[in-house]
Amino acid sequence: MNKLQFNYLYRDSGNYKQYGYVVFANPENLHPEEATAMIREKLISEEFFVAEEWDVPSLRKDPYDPEIDHGWHEFEEFKWTKEEVTDNRLISDFLNGIKKGAGYKKV
């Protein structure tokens, strides 16, 4: 079975980066480019999302300080992988279940 790896990162107020990924089963053989196109329309400014609201692990390591930090993570890419599945959802369930701009309020 093909699997897709969702790569993302958290960049803190000091521009330090924490990288992470989630591996999803992909029985529909969704191509990484197709998954990227589907997720881009659900990202804030086609790049950001709130990990907790998408039910993926937060990569923040330091205590959260709302005065200088934020809750947004950055999408990097989808890629094929042979790694073990780390999330019980299928990639299609993940993509269909996430909401556009969750946690985002326009000012």
Q: What predicted TM-score, i.e. pTM, was given to this entire model?
A: 0.87
Position 107 pLDDT exceeds 50: no
CB under 8 Å to 91, separation ≥6 — which residues?
Answer: 4, 24, 25, 26, 28, 30, 35
Question: Residue 39's pLDDT band (boundaries 50, 70, 90)?
Answer: very high
SS3 call for 58: coil
For residue 96, give the H/E element and its range: helix 91-97
Position 81 pLDDT exceeds 90: yes
Position 99 pLDDT exceeds 90: no
